[in-house]
Amino acid sequence: MNPIVIFRVDGNQTIGIGHVKRCIVLACELKYQNINSVFLSSELTDNLKSELDTYALVYKMIDDNIPEIIQIHSTFQQYQNYQWKLVIDSDRKEYYSKEFQCSIRDLGIRLSIITFYSEPEYFADVILNQNIMALDQTYSVQPFTKKLLGPQYLIINQLFRRYLKKNEIRPFLKKKNHVLIYFGGADQNDRTSWTVELLQKLQNKPDHIHVVVSSTYPYLTSLKDLVKTSSIELTLYVDTDQMPYIMSQSKYSFTSGGLTMWELGIMNVLNFVIGLSNREVSSGAFCSKKGYCYYLGEKRFINDTSLIENIDHILLKEKENAAMVKSLNTLLNPDGIQEVCEAIIGLS
């Protein structure tokens, strides 16, 4: 029997769109292998729905009046002659309970959880944490659980993988002094505009700034006004499909961390991380301590003057920065998605 994969995942302006984006990448890779999938969601932005439509991926919305496990099971029952695979990519606590995980498996559904957390006890068939932190964490799992931990299992989208196959990535020291600013789809506290303004005050100003936002970014009008007054040459991208190229042209970046950090590492870009969520703060601080990036802190706690001086100082340490970029790059596997798909569809 062929597998059918259901992705239980949400995306909105509060939690961002990264969970859904990651699952779209997985679903597209599975589709390439002639395996169909369905997205089951309680919240999806209009842009995410459009993207799912673009890739001809089926999605269904959760009915809040019906228990989720019933809706998951009833969706699978439409595919009686298939092997049932459920992939959950969410931080919602209920999915981490023993009751929920065991109930799913008792229905004959093989369960994979994409997670950031090592604290829960896992009863899933597969757990995936592609963050470097996972290599230093201990997970409580069952004898049958397969652990996919660390950047060996990166889920990098097809655009990046195609770009890497066709292009040689320039070493850090040979790159032009370009900066990328990208804080994901939502960026509710507007780190984007704040960073643009900070860079104007550097002594070692970049030659060019690339700013990437999505159409869900709530401050687009004011950002466009800021672009007009920038003393540095600046290009603004909205919902771009050119991210691999933009990263390849950049030497430095300012981001919230997350998957973007690993994509930047593959592209030999030095990353400055400014955190907001608990996940961003803990991951950024960990990677900074390991020497893979510079974690600058949370925006609300940062003194602008001190930060500008700190960044100016860091930018002068070219050889140290090159070594930092190289140390991260050697850990990353841009083809990790293939191993993830094999683990999911190989469940019996």
Please, what are the averages of pLDDT over each run of 10 residues along the chain (348 residues)? 94 83 95 95 92 95 94 96 96 95 97 95 97 94 97 91 94 97 86 97 96 90 94 95 96 92 95 91 94 95 95 96 96 94 88
Q: Give pLDDT, residue 216.
A: 80
Strand partners, 298: 275
Q: Whose CA is closest to 181, among 162, 163, 169, 198?
A: 198
Q: Give pLDDT, residue 14.
A: 76
d(CA 168, CA 242): 16
* Predicted structure pTM score: 0.85
> At 272, which amino acid appears?
F
Q: Whose CA is closest to 197, among 153, 170, 227?
A: 227
Contacts (Cβ under 8 Å, ≥6 apart) of 221 = none
Q: Give pLDDT, residue 229.
A: 93
Strands of 178-182's sheet, edge to edge?
A: 234-238, 208-213, 178-182, 252-255, 270-275, 294-298
d(CA 69, CA 104): 7
Give 176-220 as a DSSP string: -SEEEEE--S--TT-HHHHHHHHHTT-SS--SEEEEEE-TT-TTH
Contact 185, 46 (CB under 8 A): no
Domains present along the chain, CATH in parentheses: 3-154+333-345 (3.40.50.2300), 158-329 (3.40.50.2000)
Q: Give pLDDT, residue 88.
A: 98
Q: In the chain, helix, strand, coil percent, each to 5?
A: 45, 20, 35
